Structure 1
Amino acid sequence: MGSTPKKTMLAQQYDALDNKLHLNEVPIPEPREHELLVKVACASLCHSDVMLFEPNDQGLILGKNPVTIGHEASGIVVKAGSCEVASKFKAGDQVGFLCAVDCCFECEQCRNVHNSWCVNGKTKMQGFTLDGYFQEYVCVDARATMVLPEGMDAKTAAPLFCAGVTAFHGVQDCELKPGQWLAVIGCGGLGHLGIQYAKAMGYKVIGLDIADQALEEAKKCGADYVFNSMTDKDWQNKVLEITGGGVDAAINFTASKKSYDDAPAIIKPGLGLLMIVGIPRQPLEINALDVALGRFRVKGSSNGTSHNMKPAIEFSAKHNIKPHLTHYKLEDLPKMIELMNSHKAQGRMGVLFD
């Protein structure tokens, strides 16, 4: 079903030997029986990609070297494998996908926790332990792939297949009721989507960030109030006053340990929740007495599984959730990483392929 017009392609590959990216020419892969060969329409940059270049002790593992980075993309099916699931896709389908491969997709962990914990112990993550999506073609597992809903375009949908799914479930898993207060910590690539999901679910939202351009984006996405937690020294008291004693949940999309340290002060004592999504370089420090005495609860959320991907994407289509996406060329990926590290980017940045 379909074929590629050439044998090689360009790929942005991370090399651990010099801790740099290299634009290499590599072979176009051939799909296994359960896979789809996809022509990447857009691959967008996630903070987890940048963690490859940083020292961290949070369990990020590099498999092959060099490796094509990127784990957030959408594209167009070129060729399908022979198994029943793969054969349901046809050439020309616009699709999005998650990055876990070589897991079973059927065990309790794969269905309800995360594919990383598959009982077979063989899970690999594209963009880290296998080649990812900052290349022209990629093979993805058909079981972790879906056809885009009507009205969604593969050139703009890429951020929804990590940032979108992550932000949706991070907000939904707070289990708030309409009208309750949610603090969104970090209003950038994940947070600007989280604010849109929260408003679509009927929550009142306070956006927190250290970059004014991110706060402007938060306002556009519907945040009721925004505060710069670096320049406004009284932001915590203001949040407590606005909410009548604290937010019902605070969801942290950042990689800042300080923002985690600061979050409990704005959570309403009792049933208030700290939702962990962003992964700082250093381990978090949680006051055990606060948790034991019920001052606040702690919970985590991630981009989940192929089984909860579809509800997030369908909700996005129904409620017209749109990522703020700036397009670049493949050779511009180092510039994109620089912008992300300097907090100068708004929303999501993605490579648009021809």
Structure 2
Amino acid sequence: MAPKTMLAQQYDQRDNKIHLNEIPVPEPRDHELLIKIQNASLCHSDLMLFEPNDQGLVLRNNPVTIGHEATGTVVGRGSGEVASKFKEGDNVGFLCAVECCFDCSNCRNVHNLWCVTGKTQMQGFAQNGYFQEYAVVDARAAMVLPEALDVKTAAPLFCAGVTAFHGIQDCELKPGQWVAVIGCGGLGHLGIQYAKAMGLKVIGLDIADQALDEAKTCGADHVFNSMKDRDWKEKVLEITGGGVDAAVNFTASKKSYDDCPAIIKPGQGLLMVVGIPREPLQLNAFDIALGRFRVKGSNNGTCYNMRPAIEFSAKHNIKPHQTLFKLEELPKMIELMNSHKAQGRMGVAFDGGAKSNL
């Protein structure tokens, strides 16, 4: 039985900081599951709460528990039909969209954000997220974990993993083709693993040497520090015989987007937009009109494209490289992410332990 109260790391707009608060444990509605969080991981987009941005984040509750990537164990459920498909003790992962219908064409084929009801909210932003001991999630956005995945370390797959998988898969490349993974950290290190499992040749690009070390560990064929190596673009063109077949940008850096066209193979080369910079992107209409390269987006997943990514991860033994902390250490995790000193993903272990599975 869940306790009455729990600890939660909550963002407070009044001082633009997070605070470890004691709050009530929520009760699941008919369509919801009550989850004992086992692993919650930090995503770069969580930090958008602290930053000026024009990406449409709406803070409806203040303070609000941050975090939108987690896995956990079902300890309660609502009385509705969708919740009854799960049982107590199930280890599950889930996505963070709530209050949408999950059934309209937009929910099924685009993203829950564009639900025709206009009521969608995201846990970790508009609603309490997962850096807390218990959370309610919509059963329609949840799935039981494959046996090959560990509930205590699999949290990053339920945003970063789904995002990275589709960022690579949606390029529609054939085995042996070249892909540039731009940003080899929390998202990119997974993207490299997916690309190699799909038979692609990979160039990793980053400005942090520790991220490039991570890229090598994940199987990248070549890596370049685009800040330190002045000739990296020429080297990429030489290695690939004229440019990569796709450049997948996982970063929030506008400059990295500006650099992409120079390394994409003219003709059918693709720029895949995944990371979201604060500033709007600027693309040369002449390049697009004359077919120098194509532009495509890949979103961070819905309950309809979540399962293929998770099952692929289990089948190919793709796991997030994650350093684990305690809940009270979340400010340290944020500091490490802001300073680009983290490798892979950082998460909270809710069993009281903190270790690394790097």
Report the TM-score when normalising by structure 2.
0.97
Query: How many Å separate the matches in 1 of 2:271 and 2:214?
Result: 23
Which residue pairs with 2:52 in the alignment?
A: 55
Please tell me the residue identity of whatever aligns with 2:241. G
Secondary structure in 2 matching 1:52: helix
Which residue pairs with 1:111 in the alignment?
A: 108
- Please tell me whether residue 196 in structure 1 is matched to residue 179 in structure 2: no
Query: How many Å separate the matches in 1 of 2:303 and 2:165?
Result: 14
Secondary structure in 1 matching 2:46: helix
Which residue pairs with 2:354 in the alignment?
A: none
Q: After superposition, where does 1:1-354 map in structure 2 within 5 Å?
A: 3-4=1-2, 6-354=3-351
Secondary structure in 2 matching 1:227: strand
Deviations, residues 113-159 of structure 1 (Å, cap 9, x unaligned): 11000111111100000000000000000000000001211101000
Secondary structure in 2 matching 1:32: coil
Q: Is the 8 A contact 1:58 1:283 kept in 2?
A: no
State the Cα distance separating 1:83 from its structure 2 match.
1.1
Secondary structure in 2 matching 1:84: coil
State the Cα distance separating 1:68 from its structure 2 match.
0.3
Across the aligned residues of Structure 1 and Structure 2, the Cα RMSD in angstroms comes to: 0.6
Deviations, residues 327-351 of structure 1 (Å, cap 9, x unaligned): 0011110110000010000000001
State the Cα distance separating 1:60 from its structure 2 match.
2.1
State the Cα distance separating 1:304 from its structure 2 match.
1.9
Query: How many Å separate the matches in 2 of 1:276 and 1:260?
Result: 9
Q: Is the 8 A contact 2:71 2:152 kept in 1?
A: yes
Please tell me the residue identity of whatever aligns with 1:262. D
Query: How many Å separate the matches in 2 of 1:222 and 1:302?
Result: 24
Secondary structure in 2 matching 1:149: coil
Query: How many Å separate the matches in 2 of 1:115 and 1:347?
Result: 27
Q: Is the 8 A contact 2:159 2:301 kept in 1?
A: no
Secondary structure in 2 matching 1:82: coil
Query: How many Å separate the matches in 2 of 1:249 and 1:67?
Result: 38
Query: How many Å separate the matches in 1 of 2:89 and 2:322?
Result: 23
Please tell me the residue identity of whatever aligns with 1:101. V
Query: How many Å separate the matches in 2 of 1:184 and 1:237?
Result: 16
State the Cα distance separating 1:16 from its structure 2 match.
0.6
Query: How many Å separate the matches in 2 of 1:262 and 1:45?
Result: 27
State the Cα distance separating 1:85 from its structure 2 match.
1.3
Please tell me the residue identity of whatever aligns with 1:295. R
Q: Is the 8 A contact 1:58 1:282 kept in 2?
A: no
Query: How many Å separate the matches in 1 of 2:110 and 2:177?
Result: 26
State the Cα distance separating 1:264 from its structure 2 match.
0.6
Q: Is the 8 A contact 1:181 1:247 kept in 2?
A: yes
Query: How many Å separate the matches in 1 of 2:227 and 2:160?
Result: 25
Deviations, residues 149-208 of structure 1 (Å, cap 9, x unaligned): 012111010000000000000100001011100000000000000000000001000000
What's the % identity of the aligned pairs? 81
Q: Is the 8 A contact 1:248 1:272 kept in 2?
A: yes
State the Cα distance separating 1:61 from its structure 2 match.
2.0
Q: Is the 8 A contact 1:86 1:142 kept in 2?
A: yes
Report the TM-score when normalising by structure 1.
0.98
Structure 2: stretches of 5+ with no match in the other structure? 352-358
Deviations, residues 187-239 of structure 1 (Å, cap 9, x unaligned): 00000000000000010000000001100110010100000000000000000
- Runs of 4+ in structure 1 deviating by more than 2 angstroms, as ranges, are none
Q: Is the 8 A contact 1:193 1:321 kept in 2?
A: yes
Q: Is the 8 A contact 1:327 1:350 kept in 2?
A: yes
Secondary structure in 2 matching 1:304: coil
Which residue pairs with 2:355 in the alignment?
A: none
Secondary structure in 2 matching 1:308: helix
Please tell me the residue identity of whatever aligns with 2:87. K
